[in-house]
Structure 1
Amino acid sequence: MRLSRGLECECAGGAACPDGAANGTCLTQPGGYCFVAVEEVLDENGYIVLDRSAGCLPPDESGFMQCKSAQVPHQHPKGIECCSDRDLCNQRLSPLLPAPPAGPDDAGPALRPPAAGSPAALLAAALCVALLAALGACLLLLRRRRAGKRPPSPPAPRAPTLADASSGSGSGLPLLVQRTVAKQIQMVESVGKGRYGEVWLARWRGEKVAVKVFFTTEEASWFRETEIYQTVLMRHENILGFIAADIKGTGSWTQMLLITDYHENGSLHDYLQTVVLDAHALMTMAYSVVSGLAHLHMDIFGTSGKPAIAHRDIKSKNILVKRDGQCAIADFGLAVRYVAERNEVDIAPNTRVGTRRYMAPEVLAERLDGANFEAFKTADMYSLGLVLWEMCRRCATGDKAQHVEAYALPYHEFVPPDPSFEDMHAVVVAKGIRPPVPARWRASEPLATLAALMAECWHANPPVRLTALRVKKTLARYNTETTVKLV
């Protein structure tokens, strides 16, 4: 009989326990299930070991892990079992792994070795003898040349670290290592949810990382974001650092994981609600955001070049604040690339269309030319102008730094909290309204400089808008001139 309070289940394994604790217990929602799952994984030394996890499942299939056969406790797929008859019932479960693939003896006569007297066998034997003779000659020659000297011992194999992800081309750890990393992740706590899935704080080899777990309906977003992050020369200090990506599952539940750097300050949207900026902090943030966008928009030619990329969902929630006050652009599930060799725009097959509040007028009016890559870049610049507006509201001015506006989203006074496509079209396109610029901004630097830039970024005519590189150069020149004046 089900308990109205929900089941108490054994909880083991970092991916199964809400707080990452081992050998503990968890409490399901009423109608939930207890589960045990096993799978073969690679440990940090590359050996195959059996990984067991146990925990709680919600009554529906929208939880962190899914057990689609939970309604029939004695007919589970191999690798996972569920139960719901009593507390701690999953302690007695012992799911089986899928049977190993057929061996060479079952593959049929085509895979059997040749007979001992066949021409193929004689040729193989002759080649082995010749190879052994050549190897012996090489060893003898090498021994004579060394003349008693012994070379230094090779260094011991080193386990991969997060530093390895930032080396080389900047596309994360090697693919084989990525799969090992994903299986060694220990989940700690959920730090955010969105329409794509859930973000967790996790640990890998004692270091904090962020794990983005995608809903099963967002496979296209996971695939596109992984593809963009692994682009050669993608890494930049103002683009969220990518570590690894993997898909985990036993056939009845699946996790699509994206592992990145972790920034404890969270998104720019959350940060600005509680923090008031001074002029220096404002310019640091603004310059870092536009630097990341300029790198994204830039195409680098050469054999290992980088294609131009447009983000298509620039907003304060997709920008993270780093510990040093700089920002990093994240969430590339909607990004598009320009393939210069074929003069084509590589658009991902994704049903998401961006965030309505930040959509450019030509997107709201459905006039954006999808075959013209520059159109996507200018749409990004419109969204950037709105993000700069959000930052400027939180920058204090005056001798006592008492003049500052409360945090607000763009167009907050013109549209509902969750505006429809029609709401935004009526304000941005039909009426041509843009977020208001307070008088104090025009009377104080650097707000006056940023106010002029954002007005050019959100211009109604896309070709008139500034490029990311132009905005970056303007802010760099302003910072240089300000430094000279202070000296």
Structure 2
Amino acid sequence: MVVFNNVTMDTFHRRKWLLLLITIVWRKLDLVNGLKCYCNSDSPSCPNSTCETDGFCYASTTLENGIQKYSYHYRVLALRCMNTSQAFYREGYPIICTQPRYYCCFKDYCNSDEISQEILDTMVHTSILEPGTSATAWQVVPWLMGLMVLGVCAAISFWWAKRSGKVKERGSRPLYPAEESLCETRHPITATIRDMIELTTSGSGSGLPLLVQRSIARQIQLVDIIGKGRFGEVWRGRWRGENVAVKIFSSREECSWFREAEIYQTVMLRHENILGFIAADNKDNGTWTQLWLITDYHENGSLFDFLTSRTIDSNTLIKMSLSIATGLAHLHMDIVGTKGKPAIAHRDLKSKNILVKSNLTCVIGDLGLAVRHNVASDSVDVPSTNRVGTKRYMAPEVLDESMDSRQFDPYKRSDVYSFGLVLWEMARRCGVMPDEYQPPYYDCVPPDPSLDDMRRVVCLEKRRPNVPNRWHSDIVLSAISKVMKECWYQNPAARLTALRIKKTLANIDTADHIKL
């Protein structure tokens, strides 16, 4: 049996019914004319808004279009309010019906007093009304939810617009987020490639970080093709409005691509007379993988192209010669230190691998066949590629295979021999009556000579390019011809070093200016 406030539930009901019976009997005995109730119906039983009943006075309330309305009635004893599950005694009030919408009481006009109004209002606020009230609430809820969603969307849109404005101020980002943050944070959109290199390398000269290289490579647009070779093609590309040269290797030349990129990123290699390296990347064009090597772009093209279409004066000859010698001396020189540079030999020096800058100085490019000297072990780092140098420019010891490939100095002497032939090419295009452009040994071998052709002319016959008589009457050409002859001696040990050539050409330049 359930106990409630130390009184059993049966006892509670017995007391309630006893009180109810006493109340009814008391009303029967005390009120001869019955209980007076207020009513607002148009029924004949409700004259002057007053009626009598032997039951209860009761009031009800409803919501119509959001407006609360009250109705006042009477009921006989046996009707709705007398069910024990719907009525209970409450101290201070005879009976209150728990049936929704109804308030029942036993006092005269009790259904219209302030107490009934307060209780009915409470019913409305606690939603003890007809189902229409809940329906109204459910109709409002979707609108409230919709407004909340719109508010959230508006807040997100405002945040995104604000963020986009900040991004636009910093400039567009590259395709790869991890790389881009590195590139964009350090280098604003207005930065040139030269600025990026100076800021990123911090003077090490070893090239841009790999992530930055890839970021740049993915943003380059190819414009037009500017050259072809056995390795692949060379394109002019655009990066943020700046021209770059893109050397695209065929897939079978992967070793050459990797080697050249590796050499270009040698510590302290960067020099004004060495082709400026920017980036290396492999790109999938949907059919095959392209191997890109991105460098500075020089609109004058190679020295071969320049000499084919243009002639030069004495000052330009010295300027070009000195710049090439300076670049070669930098390659051949080893820089000792924690971040030192190893000595490097080019192995394929020729006019097609030398580019002409806008100021008519030159830079040495195409380092795919270069070798490095390891001072610690006194060994030579030779690339694992089947490519060999250009036959026309090969030194005698390379042609007859008498060169000691285990030592580094023979490689440098071979470069000096090739440089002597480049000097000859430039000198032919200089002077009052320049000769037409011709490659070295044009009069001795076919246009595409074989190794046997070159070996016969250079090693067996020991011939060298012809020196015109007119050069002897020109001070600059005479001095240049003397240098080139000391570069292509048959005996490698007798040839000048790159540093000695640089100093000799610098002296010619000084003497020429003094004379002028």
Shorter chain as denominator, the TM-score bin is: 0.5 to 0.7
State whether structure 2 residue 173 is matched by structure 1 residue 45.
yes
* Structure 1 letter corresponding to 2:173: N
Query: 1: distance between equivalents of 2:381 and 2:176?
Result: 39
2:478 to 437, 448, 469: 448
* Structure 2 letter corresponding to 1:412: Y
Query: 1: distance between equivalents of 2:360 and 2:404?
Result: 36
Deviation at 1:47, TM superposition (A): 5.5
State whether structure 2 residue 408 is matched by structure 1 residue 377.
no
Aligned to 2:225: 190
State whether structure 2 residue 268 is matched by structure 1 residue 233.
yes
Structure with more of its chain in helix, by fraction: 2
State whether structure 2 residue 258 is matched by structure 1 residue 223.
yes
Aligned to 1:165: 197
Query: 1: distance between equivalents of 2:175 and 2:224?
Result: 28
Query: 1: distance between equivalents of 2:434 and 2:225?
Result: 32
The DSSP-based 3-state class of the residue aligned with 1:211 is: strand
CA deviations 1:150-207 (Å, max 9, x no partner) are: xxxxx98634630222552223322111011111110000110001110000000110
State whether structure 2 residue 470 is matched by structure 1 residue 433.
no
Higher-Rg member (1/2): 2
Question: Is the Cα contact below 8 Å between 2:248 and 2:291 reproduced in 1?
Answer: yes
Distance of aligned partners of 1:48 and 1:361 in 2 relative to their CA distance in 1, 3 Å threshold: closer
Identical-pair percentage: 57
Query: 1: distance between equivalents of 2:186 and 2:218?
Result: 23
Q: TM-score, normalised by structure 2?
A: 0.63
The DSSP-based 3-state class of the residue aligned with 2:426 is: helix
Deviation at 1:44, TM superposition (A): 5.1
The DSSP-based 3-state class of the residue aligned with 1:453 is: helix
CA deviations 1:408-436 (Å, max 9, x no partner) are: 00000000000000000010001000001
Question: Is the Cα contact below 8 Å between 2:282 and 2:290 reproduced in 1?
Answer: yes
Query: 2: distance between equivalents of 1:234 and 1:157?
Result: 23
* Structure 2 counterparts to residues 145-160 of structure 1, below 5 A: 158-159=188-189
Aligned to 2:35: none
Aligned to 1:406: 436
Question: Is the Cα contact below 8 Å between 1:171 and 1:242 reproduced in 2?
Answer: no
Aligned to 2:514: 484
Distance of aligned partners of 1:374 and 1:44 in 2 relative to their CA distance in 1, 3 Å threshold: farther
Deviation at 1:251, TM superposition (A): 7.7
CA deviations 1:328-375 (Å, max 9, x no partner) are: 100001000001111110001010110000000000001111111000
Q: Work out which structure has the larger RCO, using CA pairs closer than 8 Å and 6 or more positions apart in sequence.
A: 1
1:417 to 442, 447, 452: 447
Gaps of 5+ in 1: 1-42, 50-154
Query: 2: distance between equivalents of 1:449 and 1:47?
Result: 54
Deviation at 1:480, TM superposition (A): 1.7
Query: 1: distance between equivalents of 2:213 and 2:172?
Result: 12
* Structure 2 counterparts to residues 45-194 of structure 1, below 5 A: 45-46=173-174, 48=176, 158-159=188-189, 161-163=192-194, 164-166=196-198, 168-194=203-229
Question: Is the Cα contact below 8 Å between 2:327 and 2:363 reproduced in 1?
Answer: yes
Query: 2: distance between equivalents of 1:436 and 1:48?
Result: 56
Query: 2: distance between equivalents of 1:352 and 1:156?
Result: 39
Distance of aligned partners of 1:461 and 1:247 in 2 relative to their CA distance in 1, 3 Å threshold: same
Gaps of 5+ in 2: 1-170, 178-184
Moved more, 260-269 or 474-483: 474-483
Aligned to 1:255: 290
Query: 2: distance between equivalents of 1:268 and 1:201?
Result: 17
Distance of aligned partners of 1:48 and 1:243 in 2 relative to their CA distance in 1, 3 Å threshold: closer
Deviation at 1:448, TM superposition (A): 0.6
Query: 2: distance between equivalents of 1:394 and 1:371?
Result: 38
Aligned to 1:365: 400
2:499 to 469, 475, 486: 469
Query: 2: distance between equivalents of 1:404 and 1:250?
Result: 46
Distance of aligned partners of 1:48 and 1:232 in 2 relative to their CA distance in 1, 3 Å threshold: closer
* Structure 2 letter corresponding to 1:172: G
Question: Is the Cα contact below 8 Å between 1:238 and 1:288 reproduced in 2?
Answer: yes
Query: 1: distance between equivalents of 2:210 and 2:401?
Result: 39
Equivalences, count = 334
* Structure 2 letter corresponding to 1:445: I
Query: 2: distance between equivalents of 1:250 and 1:278?
Result: 45
Query: 2: distance between equivalents of 1:345 and 1:460?
Result: 23
Deviation at 1:443, TM superposition (A): 1.6
Question: Is the Cα contact below 8 Å between 1:44 and 1:180 reproduced in 2?
Answer: no
CA deviations 1:273-301 (Å, max 9, x no partner) are: 11111110110100001100000000000
State whether structure 2 residue 378 is matched by structure 1 residue 343.
yes
Aligned to 1:246: 281
State whether structure 2 residue 470 is matched by structure 1 residue 458.
no
Query: 2: distance between equivalents of 1:394 and 1:484?
Result: 24
* Structure 2 letter corresponding to 1:346: D
CA deviations 1:18-73 (Å, max 9, x no partner) are: xxxxxxxxxxxxxxxxxxxxxxxxx9525659xxxxxxxxxxxxxxxxxxxxxxxx
Distance of aligned partners of 1:302 and 1:317 in 2 relative to their CA distance in 1, 3 Å threshold: same
Query: 2: distance between equivalents of 1:372 and 1:342?
Result: 11
Query: 1: distance between equivalents of 2:436 and 2:232?
Result: 29
Structure 1 segments, 4+ long, off by >4 Å, are: 46-49
Distance of aligned partners of 1:283 and 1:156 in 2 relative to their CA distance in 1, 3 Å threshold: closer
* Structure 2 letter corresponding to 1:388: L
The DSSP-based 3-state class of the residue aligned with 2:475 is: coil
* Structure 1 letter corresponding to 2:246: V
Q: TM-score, normalised by structure 1?
A: 0.67
2:351 to 313, 316, 324: 316
* Structure 2 letter corresponding to 1:478: I
Question: Is the Cα contact below 8 Å between 1:165 and 1:242 reproduced in 2?
Answer: no
Query: 2: distance between equivalents of 1:195 and 1:156?
Result: 38
Aligned to 1:300: 335
Question: Is the Cα contact below 8 Å between 1:191 and 1:199 reproduced in 2?
Answer: yes
* Structure 2 letter corresponding to 1:404: P
Question: Is the Cα contact below 8 Å between 2:175 and 2:215 reproduced in 1?
Answer: no
Query: 2: distance between equivalents of 1:244 and 1:48?
Result: 16
Moved more, 475-484 or 179-188: 475-484
Query: 2: distance between equivalents of 1:378 and 1:46?
Result: 45
Aligned to 2:62: none
